[in-house]
Amino acid sequence: MRFRKDAELDTSQVSDRRGMRGMGLPVAGGGGIVGIIVLLLSLYLNSGGGGAPSINGISLGGEEGDLSAECRTGEDANQRQDCRIVGVVDSVQAYWGQRHPGYTKSTTVFFTGQTNTGCGLASSDVGPFYCPVDQKVYIDLGFYDDLRNRFGATGGPFAEAYVIAHEYGHHVENLMGLLAQGQGGATGPNSAGVHIELLADCFAGMWAKGAIDTGFIEDITDADIQDGLDAAAAVGDDRIQQKTQGQVDPESWTHGSAEQRQSHFLIGFRQGSVEACQSAS
């Protein structure tokens, strides 16, 4: 995956908190591509679907970094990981701005260690996630090392992009009024929570199909798509359970199996429609 060298990056869509320390109440389990989304949804529903990015009166605070000097063009995105993620965010949001009427942009927050969110204090351990309370995507870029070293994915720029596109899939679900369907705590391959996760994978595939048309990306190869599919499989519930427990328990799944995650990404990539994704999920 390569970016157009002259593409102009919009760093205002990314907030850089790397090096800052969050203080607040913990988000148990977290949510997102490998975490548990149930608690985040519970917090969201209890807040009435709105609220500022704080919890129990504890605000964010601190000074944020400025990526605008380093991440200006697609060439910067081809050279630096953080600029590459800025470029992916720009592309994903441009895509959904074209495809989903009434789409509102969601900020991606870079952090290290832990940070305050509208859903509570989040640590790197929960992995990348979307918080519906403040409608932001959170990621410690160190997760990409974990994706390779802990989860066994091959990695690569498009694998990183798949993770971001999945989280923005949750944002789209939220705007469509679908995200709350994952609330309730039920698990298993046919549960509402798994349905929501697979839909986000399918939405990620939709973006991949239309990414070049957003004007930021000039090339996505078959090898890139394979890297994305490999990442999707690596964070399948069955793969993670086998690695951590030595056995697979489908009734406890919260995100779907490796095969489910890959197949739903491919449905989005091949068919490129919300209707196909909703029917499949």
Residue ranges of domains in the chain: 2-280
Residue 42, pLDDT above cutoff 50: no
pLDDT at 225: 98
Residue 47, pLDDT above cutoff 90: no
> What band does 62 get if pLDDT is binned at 50, 70 and 90?
very low
pTM value surpassing 0.85: yes
In 3D space, the residue among 41, 13, 11 whose CA is nearest the CA of residue 173 turns out to be: 41
Q: How far apart are CA 171 and CA 96, in angstroms?
A: 10
Residue 184, pLDDT above cutoff 50: yes
Give the contacts of 88 (CB within 8 A, at least 6 positions apart).
160, 161, 164, 165
Looking at mean pLDDT, say which of 16-20, 33-37, 53-57, 209-213 comes out highest. 209-213
Residue with tokens 């705590």: 185
Helix, strand, coil abundance in the chain, percent, nearest 5: 50, 10, 40
Mean pLDDT of 250-259: 94
Quote the tokens at residue 41: 């949804």
